[in-house]
Structure 1
Amino acid sequence: MADKAWRILVVGPSWVGDMVMAQSLFMTLKARHPHCYLAVVAPEWSQPILARMAEVDEIVPLAVGHGTLGLSARRAVARQLRGRFDEAIVLPRSWKSALVPFLARIPRRTGFLGEQRYGLLTQRRRLDKRVLDQTVKRFVSLGLPLEETVEGDFAIPSPRLRVDGDNLVELRLQHSLSSRPAIALMPGAEYGPAKQWPLDHFHRLAKKLVDEGFEIRVLGGPKDVMAGDEIVQGLAHAHNLCGKTRLADAVDLLADCRQVVTNDSGLMHVAAAVGSRIHAIYGSSSPSYTPPLTDNAVIHYLALSCSPCFKRTCPLGHTNCLNQLDVERLHKAVTGTTEYLEPPV
């Protein structure tokens, strides 16, 4: 591994937050093997995020829809990669995710056991969820010798995305953003409504903050446009940027925000990776499993007896884990009146 010609291929995950967390693995590999060449196989949407990671030497787009096999596309990518890499690390646990390194005939292929991948991987590891109790730990562990991961106490470097200052200037002009101190609100969560703080709560928080001299920026994808409209309705100095910005733009806009109020989402991890102060809201998910990877975060989690359930929608029909997380609590935390920390889980 000390050979500076050592070339590593990582098969990356399919979600925004997971791709950001994967940078902890990339940082670990570069720290251990400073001269290695690192390439990442990833969905095309993730290229803007990977382009902001200093550790990634090459991005290998895989034009396959989420949840689909896309065998011909995987074969085509494998042909392009054949003979170029010494090692592959497969982060997803699905059978199809291990196909590209196998078809590319990469001699060493490491990943967790899952979906009968015995013939596809050469270095198969069992996943002990008690030890590797966080997604990021699982990613980083695959880049370490097995004996170093047994106790689960290895270092986890925090992701750090590059910020494009010139692009930020253009965005501020394009969207008529003011010189007020900016706070970002992120109401989306791709997984489902059991991870989404009520829109009325977001709206009332936004109104309080605008009245106190802040600018509100609501960030999200095209699916979040209507949610953004509801949050900013009737408010001056509040901008619904959902669907109006690229993923790379979100990196720069979040870096420009003093604080961020967010559901447990992919953009939460982006905000953490640019150094914004995070107010992370957890409902059906657990802050122990996918926390923002930063010391500059406040966790808002009620830890009700029914949570975390990890369901897309509330199985009890009330979503009290989010509805009962009141606006005043978030307002006080954002304005520095009160500091709320994660309760025991």
Structure 2
Amino acid sequence: MSKTVTVDFFYKNELSEKLQLWIVMPSAIRFNENNLTPDQITKIPTGEKLAYYILDKDQDLHLNYEVELYSTKNEKKTLTDEEKDFYLRNTILSPINTETTRLAKEITARQKNDHEKARAIFHYIVDNYRYIYPPSSRGVNSFLEVKKGDCGEFSFLFTALCRTLKIPARTVVGSWAYGKMNAHVWNEFFIEGEGWISVDTSMAYIQKKQTFRFFDSSLKTLHWKKYFGETEGQRVVFSKDAEIELLPKYKNNEEAYTLNPILINGEPFCWGQQSLNGRAPYLQPIYVKYEQNDDLFSSVDISQLFGTWKIREHGIKHFLERSKVFLLIIALLSMALNFIFQNFYLGVTYKLTFIIFFLCFILRRERVIIFSVFLLVMFLSLLSTLD
């Protein structure tokens, strides 16, 4: 099956007369008459290129590109001293402080190498924190206090605890590789000679304690323990770490305002009006800066801050994903009509349609065992109807 997807990102400036926008530029983008050219491009410590745009009121940015599903196999297996320092740095969302140092040492007291220490941190987070969305506050300090958060908080904590132990780690910001605006955040830690190793504590938690959360989705889920060391391979990356420095320099508004500020470590933060010491909290896929606009009387819509994106799979994967929707509608409708009219042909139709529906999940490798059981049961039911 195809390992490439099409990403379609769109942003329109509806916030102010002049708006600044930063985005990690996808390597697949080729600038031509169809693409707005950045005002500045800067190479950042992650090895990516940060593009900077100035958009006039109602001007838009549209990026459409093909990209391979993300994998760490092509990532480097060694880091320079500068890169190690970058992935060991102390940040606001993933702080290295007395509390994180104490906790990391307590969790890994019996582990002898970095790989096993990272595994111990993985198990600790999965077992001791609860997934909720949206979180009450962003950042590790708040997460340690309330022990509840979304994929961002799970990831920020893993990064902080690894860095405390001098294990290079990063918070990877991206999206599930299907559908509209399916944002996600996870981790990677680095072992010299092995390279970057994937870890997803929030998905491990969900698969362990909220097993059916992704039951009918187009996501291939794994057993929870497998999220230490691998992913399902259905992701694209927007930025290979959080708190990336914004260049040109981001200057906070002196009187930042917003009708619905978020909290970062319990303190109000005006998204799109403030930065974290000149850094974006995260780029998913953009960060913006807009001036106060007296015409904005209601809360700012999420699309006005993050833009919108759609990701489309290719080939048979796309065909099977789209087919599931139509098959389910036909199956449910024919089953309801059969319940009312008790018609032989309607009975055959809904059972056969459900069989094909379950087969789509199996061919996409989504929860293969359970949908194989469903398929077998429905197939036997169909045989009994035909008899």
Whether TM exceeds 0.5 here: the answer is: no
Structure ID, larger Rg: 2
TM-score bracket, normalised by the shorter chain, equals under 0.3
Structure 1 length as normaliser, TM-score?
Answer: 0.27
Q: Which has the higher contact order (CA 8 A, sep 6+)?
A: 2
Say which structure is richer in strand.
Answer: 2
Structure 2 length as normaliser, TM-score?
Answer: 0.25
